[in-house]
Structure 1
Amino acid sequence: MGKRLLMLFMAIYMAVLPGCVAKTISVEEQQPLLEQSNKNKSEQAEETVPKKGGTLTIPLVQPDVFNPLMTKSKDMVNFLGLIFEGVMRYDQNQKPQPCLAESYEVSEDGTIWTFHLRKGVKWHDGTPFTSQDVKFTFDILRSGTLNSFYQNGIYANTYIQDLVPKDDYTICLNLNFPISNALDIMTFPVIPKAVYESVLPGAGIENIVPIGTGKYKMESTISIEDGEIRLVRNNDWWGKSPFIDTILVRIYEDNDKARAAFQTGSIDLVDTEVVFTNIYEQEPDVRLYRYLTSKYDFLAFNLRSPLFSDAKVRKALAYAIDRKEIMSMVFLNNGQAVDVPINPSSWLYDSSYRIYDYDPEKAVFMLKEAGWSDSDGDGILDKDIGGEKVNFKFTIKTNEDNDERRETALLIKRQLGEIGIQVDVEPVPWQEIQGDHIPKGSFDAILMGYYLSVFPDLEFILHSSGEQNFIKYTHPELDGLIFQSKTIYNEEELKDAYRQMQKLISIEMPIMSLYFRTACLVTKDKIGGIGIPRELDIYGGIEEWYIKR
């Protein structure tokens, strides 16, 4: 959804989030993983036939605002997803699919996307949903007045001409030029025009009782003071009627209190970073549903340094770093290793370019081919550069308030030391890395992370003009592929363009991708019908959930 979806979460992740991940594999293999996670419990539990009824009790941590366009809370995005819907929504492969639209089509030149909206959809107050509601919501986001992360890709986007209703159930996204993420743009949650058009930001828009088109609706006014909110099934929902009658939402001031409430049975589930799931692994009445997040860790090299200017050296380092050991020692044997900055859940990810498994002998061989050897027998590789002997030694900087990254950097230091590369680790404040070392280029390597957009954006970090291309990487062929991909709207052509980009990245290795992190939905065994959650949409398939009798 734009160049950097959820920039707020990305900024927080780079600065402070610890590396808490779970063992996760590609989307095609996630169902066997889910079954394995719950094996003992599944074997003992007799499957029940889903029936309507019952109450699901869920947590809500630190709610900020009840307007889906304004919230800056991950918990609220998940919660409000029960109430609000978009014209399009993401599936398990992070591919947009029709939601409030029942179909769409694109013109031959790719500049007009026509969305045919579902007829008969009602807002929770009984009024009809129309294209005017979509237009109203789009215009608010395009104005930029709400500072919403949903406006990324809409606000100040010169590719977009306008969103124009043709009638109550047809709306057209008109573009000045074709774009590859037109469908992603239409995943924003739609709000009712009649409810919000007379209320300005700062005058109560954030606390209007949410009225959406979704599977569940507010039973009454918001009662945060009571510590609870109650949702009831929307019997007018356009899709399959959910089994569960009521969702009781209990409010907590932090995640620790929510996890404690789950352990005491006060709530039926908790969405958590996987490091906390270890305490639940052996509990007979608990099930774990792991899923990939957009949190991406990598090692960035200063390509202006003669140590890292040779792609063969960078690839040798990729073979020399044992990510399995890192995930075992730091992340309790959990993690999804990658060689490209594209989420393995994405329909645009190509697993063919997952290449660099640990192979220190190959690393030594490639370094030797690049001219690095221990000529003086001091245990450190060296090379003649410009008539001067240069030892292969460098410093990894990482943010000092992140224990997992510090431990990871120390493991990389030991692993590279085993093949003759001397590494120092320098933990420093993130503000210093971001405000000083990155802008000035005063670093050898930085161990860090980004919260990546759902639609894979390689421009911001790997294009020669990218806003975050602080490693100063330049490659004309990759620049061309990135630029070309931005205007491809045919699915197969787009997949092919991303395949070519991933191939080139795996050959060039401009940055060393390490892994994507995962999270886990932990539930009581009494809840059936849960599939594989998706980040920021953990209740996406809740119409299939049911309370076991």
Structure 2
Amino acid sequence: MLAACAGGNTGNKNNAAKAANPPASSNETDKVDKKEDTPAEGDKIEGGNAVVIVPQDPDYLDPHLAVAAGTTEIMFNVFEGLLKPNEKGELYPAVAESYEISPDGLAYTFKLRSGVKFHNGNPVKAEDVKYSYDRLAGADTGKPLNVSFAGIANIETPDESTVVFKLKENNSSFLTALTAAIIPKDYADSNTKPIGTGPFKFKEYLPGQRLVVEKNETYYVSGIPSLDKVEFRIIPDQEAGFLTFKSGEADIYPRIGTEKLEELGDSYQAVSGPQNLVQVLVYNIAKKPFDDIRVRQAINHAVNKDELIQGVAIGRGIKLGSHLSPIMKHYFQEGLEDLYAYDADKAKALLAEAGHADDISIKLSVPSNYAFHVSTGEVIAQQLSKVGIKVTIEPVEWAVWLERIYKGRDYEATIIGFDGKLNPYDILNKYLSDSSNNFFNYNSPEFDKTLTATVTEVDAAKRTDLFKQAQTILAKDAAAVYIMDPYLNVALKPKLQGYKQYPLYVQDLSTVYWTK
């Protein structure tokens, strides 16, 4: 596993791409009875089971409460929204069949696809969609579970197959929010027996051991999925996961370490590439000495990112300078990766100027089940020691990390990876001063104003420029140390085909199949 990931604002769940996957657009109907041709189609075996290694338990099975990206990685196969992404990150209709947007951008009208059923056999109706998205919008509580739904004025259901969203103001990113999971109206057991509409349905969950999903026989896409059952086997220790895979007990090992991937040799399939993930060294800006920008800048200059990419990622990573990966090339601000070039002397000078020449001691709390972060922390500790900063590494269990550090903000510094989203606003909004998951304790009125303006900006070029300005503000403020987008490495057994890599933190098993 390359990186532990805490998601953006809760509840934004995406699901698996279908065999036919044109991008969604106004008045567009998606044809779902096509099957993708593959070179090995003639050797395809229908059915069979697969075991996928994952390093963490889900935090919640309820898709509207989950914040851990590792949960989405698994439940991607169970839940769907009105829309879903394909492997290129493009949106297209899922539970919806088509949609229209009013000229003023304040009304979105969706027609539901006929024949879509929940895993309990009940048909999906407009009232289920309204219930799901009202819940995310906090219609009853006044507290949105997902900030992307906070701008909804009301949701109307003129009939069983029509849903109309009325917005308080124009929201240029609203469509991406509608990838969030649709669940049955008034269903109270989502956290123990989740029910969705995806290609696989939930079967069982044994904490610390496995989560199992099985084929949705009534899925509305012809020929999807092929596999009968998928077991996500929970193995926090990377070495144990590697031995399990190498022994043949598992079939897919996502986020395997680069050195382990190379150790496997040519006897296994390998997929590797950028994954739209941001690995960061986070310091708690609310605590001294991190409230001093000179200290934050010094730490940035003291961290040698090139050394980390070569030493920890074995060269498979892209250097970053702010909280966006270059895989989001349309919105990515180039040049920030060199804003704080490695310079130990400059780091020492900044620390001396701040009155901390040799008196800084940092407790670096690292999620212990992610070897990549542990290794990164060890190298960074050595690098910071060269400028007089003493680092003590504290291994922290993942569940504890989520509660104490991510939610409780009780930490000095940590290393984590943030999963990518389809919309840059959903990636950057965790830095808003009033964001519930701003565990950086970052506060910048300039950033707040700039990023918030992207929501209502209708001019695409101006909106892109605002996103680039927001990245620049984070970089200049040294809001964190932005390290790399480490490549996603996936090892697979040779007879598995159809695996797709997404610019999202997910595992799509719907298109995977066995061959003879």
Identify the residue that residue 187 of structure 1 maps to in structure 2.
Answer: 179
- 1:474-530, Cα deviation, whole Å (9 max, x unpaired): 463x34312312333565443232123234444554543222445433211111232
Q: Secondary structure at the residue paired with 1:409? A: helix
Q: What code does the residue aligned with 1:328 have?
A: Q
Of 248, 253, 258, which residue of structure 1 is paired with 2:229?
248
Q: What code does the residue aligned with 2:229 have?
A: L
Identify the residue that residue 84 of structure 1 maps to in structure 2.
Answer: 79
Measure how far apart 1:323 and its partner are.
0.8
Measure how far apart 1:339 and its partner are.
0.6
Measure how far apart 1:124 and its partner are.
5.0
Bigger fraction of residues in helix: 1
Larger radius of gyration: 1
Residue 356 in structure 1 maps to residue 350 in structure 2: no
Identify the residue that residue 121 of structure 1 maps to in structure 2.
Answer: 116
Superposition pairs of residues 99-498 of structure 1, within 5 angstroms: 99-124=94-119, 127-143=122-138, 151-153=145-147, 158-193=150-185, 197=186, 200-201=188-189, 206-208=191-193, 212-216=196-200, 231-232=214-215, 234=217, 236-242=218-224, 244=226, 246-250=227-231, 252=233, 254-255=235-236, 259-274=242-257, 277-278=260-261, 280-290=263-273, 292=275, 294=277, 296-298=279-281, 300=283, 309=293, 314=297, 318=300, 321-346=303-328, 349-350=331-332, 352-356=334-338, 381=349, 392-393=357-358, 395=360, 397-400=362-365, 403-413=374-384, 417=386, 421-427=387-393, 446=413, 448-449=415-416, 451=418, 454=421, 455=423, 456-461=426-431, 463=433, 468=438, 474=444, 476=446, 478-488=447-457, 491-498=460-467
- On the 8 A contact 1:353/1:503 being kept in 2, the answer is no
CA distance in 2, matches of 1:301, 1:267: 39
> Do the aligned partners of residues 248 and 255 (structure 1) sit closer, same or farther apart at CA in structure 2, a change above 3 Å counting?
farther
- Give the TM-score, by structure 2 length: 0.70
CA distance in 2, matches of 1:167, 1:177: 25
Q: Secondary structure at the residue paired with 2:322? A: coil
- 1:22-57, Cα deviation, whole Å (9 max, x unpaired): xxxxxxxxxxxxxxxxxxxxxxxx953454624242
Measure how far apart 1:282 and its partner are.
0.8
Unaligned runs of 5+ in 2: 1-5, 13-37, 369-373
> Do the aligned partners of residues 309 and 224 (structure 1) sit closer, same or farther apart at CA in structure 2, a change above 3 Å counting?
closer
Measure how far apart 1:161 and its partner are.
1.8
Of 51, 56, 60, which residue of structure 2 is paired with 1:58?
51
CA distance in 2, matches of 1:475, 1:223: 44
CA distance in 2, matches of 1:3, 1:284: 34
Identify the residue that residue 21 of structure 2 maps to in structure 1.
Answer: none
- 1:84-120, Cα deviation, whole Å (9 max, x unpaired): 3211223446564432223333334332222233234
C-alpha RMSD over aligned residues:
5.0
- 1:132-158, Cα deviation, whole Å (9 max, x unpaired): 221232234445999x9x93226xx64
Measure how far apart 1:469 and its partner are.
7.6
Residue 4 in structure 1 maps to residue 29 in structure 2: no
Measure how far apart 1:292 and its partner are.
2.3
> Do the aligned partners of residues 217 and 396 (structure 1) sit closer, same or farther apart at CA in structure 2, a change above 3 Å counting?
same
Q: What code does the residue aligned with 1:458 have?
A: L
Superposition pairs of residues 470-549 of structure 1, within 5 angstroms: 474=444, 476=446, 478-488=447-457, 491-507=460-476, 509-539=478-508, 542-543=510-511, 545-549=512-516
Q: Secondary structure at the residue paired with 2:323? A: coil
Q: What code does the residue aligned with 1:284 have?
A: S
- On the 8 A contact 2:59/2:71 being kept in 1, the answer is yes
Paired residue total: 465
Q: What code does the residue aligned with 2:310 have?
A: S
Q: What code does the residue aligned with 1:424 have?
A: K
CA distance in 2, matches of 1:117, 1:459: 30
Q: What code does the residue aligned with 1:546 have?
A: Y
Q: What code does the residue aligned with 1:166 have?
A: P
Q: Secondary structure at the residue paired with 2:281? A: strand
Q: What code does the residue aligned with 1:133 have?
A: D
